[in-house]
Amino acid sequence: MKSVLEKTRDPLWQRTMAVRIDFNNMLSPVIGREEGLDPDALFGMQKRIDEVDAMIRNRSGKGSEFLGFMDLPYKGEEELDRIQKTADHLAAMSDIHVILGIGGSYLGSRAVIEALLPTYRNETDRTKRHERPRIYFEGNNMDPDAFSALMDLLPKKKPANLAETFSLNVVSKSGGTVETAVAFRFFHKLAKEVYGNDYAKYVVATTDASKGKLRAIADVEGFETYVIPDDVGGRYSVLTPVGLLPSAVAGVNIYGLIAGARYMAERCKDTDLKKNPAYMLAALNHLSYTKGKNVSIMASWCKALEFFGFWHDQLCAESLGKDEMGRVPLTSVNTRDLHARGQEIQDGPRNTVVTNLVVENFNHEVVVPRVDTDLDGLNYLAGKTLGEMQIKAMAGTCYAYARDGRPSMNVLIPELNAFTLGQLFYLFELSIVAEGYLMGINPLDQPGVEAYKKFMFGNLGRADMNKYKEEFDARPKGSSDYLVG
């Protein structure tokens, strides 16, 4: 771990790993005046960006009590060391690690693990996993089939060997989110049954410092706990123990993640749009939105970043979808989804901006073989790598968009590692806050999420939600005339 850490401190290495944004294909000189952004208008946003930056730095904008995510890259290594120690301990004593959490308490850690660790790691043996456990996520739904499938993998009696041993990390800031809390009831009970008096050693809780039911349970049971800071909202919490502990258990270099976030945070201290990738992204997305581009496709050109896209979906939708405004974020993986969404992006309504996530150097070189018979006619590709084919496909796709006035931009990622991923998290978090302030909304709250909960809890019989049950029961009823089949 430490050698990677040293490398992340080297300014030369850092520069080679800098995430950059190529926005040529957003601009009128490249894709035409009708659909492209006027460069003068874009750079003319500098004054507004400076105002937004002042709101962020002075913490005077709406929701600024939740801007604590900006401090996370500077917190020092003490907590990271503690997280690493707990993670190593959990990894040594279990071969199945279950993480319970939903929304901001789930998407970030899964994004990290899927981005940085081998796709099929759960299927490999423990040596190939560098002695780290298999990782499973639950408590993010109420789907009984998926739930049972995971339960079936877990032991029902004291494990006979390490391969059967499971540990648990329950993550909930409020400590009361029903999906997570109900799942925890089952896993908590199972841990007691399986481990007897020792069960508390196998459970970690990540929650509020003092409030909430999970905090109360953890204190009574004596679980090790980690705290989600008050000033960090769920979807901005990936660089707190919420995202870091699961990542460290799986074997990710969390020091590298934080170093990457800090590198991006430093770059973003300069408000100049030509130098600040977060503010440039905010300006591009905001101007495009005002021109009617209300659908944002995050197109990852590697499978590993698909869950990063889902993390971003939440960040964007929950932060900006307010006051009847906000662009709709969607994730796709290319070239896979060119065979699905591709048609609509190329030929459908002109309301879409594509943000490509482009990994410039893959970890593996897979060369297409020559076959003497050439029955499939693919020998023209022999000797080329899949990575080269991917890059050519991306360039061709962007040109096909551009020649038809369809805007796209590329987030260029020199290679996928903890340092570049840390940059990406901070980049998009800061950018979304800036965009929210450009829109005049609070990008740090989520009042709309409460609506479904009132009626769900009312229908489930929670006493304090009875009035919502009454309202639900009195709702205008549909008619069987409008049911077919």
For the packed helices 241-250 and 254-267, what is the interaxial angle rounded to 10 degrees?
A: 140
Asked if residue 109 binds ligand PA5 (CB under 6 A), the reply is no
Instruction: List phi, psi (to 5°) of 203.
Output: -125, 135
392 in active site = no
User: Of the listed 75, 213, 453, 454, which one is catalytic?
Assistant: 453
* H, E, C per residue of 288-321: HHHCCCCEEEEEECCHHHHHHHHHHHHHHHHHHC
Which of residues 84 and 177 has its CB atom nearest to ligand PA5 in the complex? 177
Which of residues 35 and 429 has its CB atom nearest to ligand PA5 in the complex? 429
Asked if residue 442 binds ligand PA5 (CB under 6 A), the reply is no
Report whether 370 contacts 379 (CB < 8 A).
Answer: yes
Q: Where are the alpha helices (DSSP H) in 9-97?
A: 11-16, 28-31, 39-43, 46-57, 78-93
Task: Compose the 224-263 pattern: x for residues touching ligand PA5 by CB under 6 A, - for all others.
Answer: ---------xxx----------------------------
Asked if residue 102 binds ligand PA5 (CB under 6 A), the reply is yes
Which of residues 195 and 226 has its CB atom nearest to ligand PA5 in the complex? 226
User: Of the listed 47, 157, 339, 364, which one is catalytic?
Assistant: 339
Asked if residue 180 binds ligand PA5 (CB under 6 A), the reply is yes
97 in active site = no
Asked if residue 25 binds ligand PA5 (CB under 6 A), the reply is no
Cα(86)–Cα(94) distance, rounded to whole angstroms?
Answer: 12
Choices 23-31, 71-79, 167-175, 385-393; region in contact with ligand PA5 by CB under 6 A: 167-175
Report whether 308 contacts 115 (CB < 8 A).
Answer: yes
End-to-end CA distance of the chain: 60
Asked if residue 329 binds ligand PA5 (CB under 6 A), the reply is no
Long-range CB contacts for residues 362-365, cutoff 8 Å, separation at least 24: 362/302, 362/386, 362/387, 362/390, 362/415, 363/415, 363/416
Choices 171-179, 321-329, 351-359, 458-466; region in contact with ligand PA5 by CB under 6 A: 171-179
The site that binds ligand PA5 (CB under 6 A) totals a number of residues, namely 14
Cα(180)–Cα(178) distance, rounded to whole angstroms?
Answer: 5
Among 36, 73, 103, 326, binds ligand PA5 (CB under 6 A): 103
Report whether 312 contacts 331 (CB < 8 A).
Answer: yes
The first and second tokens of residue 138, run together, are 């639950």
Among 64, 84, 105, 408, binds ligand PA5 (CB under 6 A): 105
156 in active site = no
Choices 82-90, 100-108, 271-279, 379-387; region in contact with ligand PA5 by CB under 6 A: 100-108
Asked if residue 174 binds ligand PA5 (CB under 6 A), the reply is yes
Q: Which residues bind ligand PA5 (CB under 6 A)?
A: 102-105, 172-174, 177, 180, 233-235, 318, 446
Catalytic residue positions, numbered? 318, 339, 453
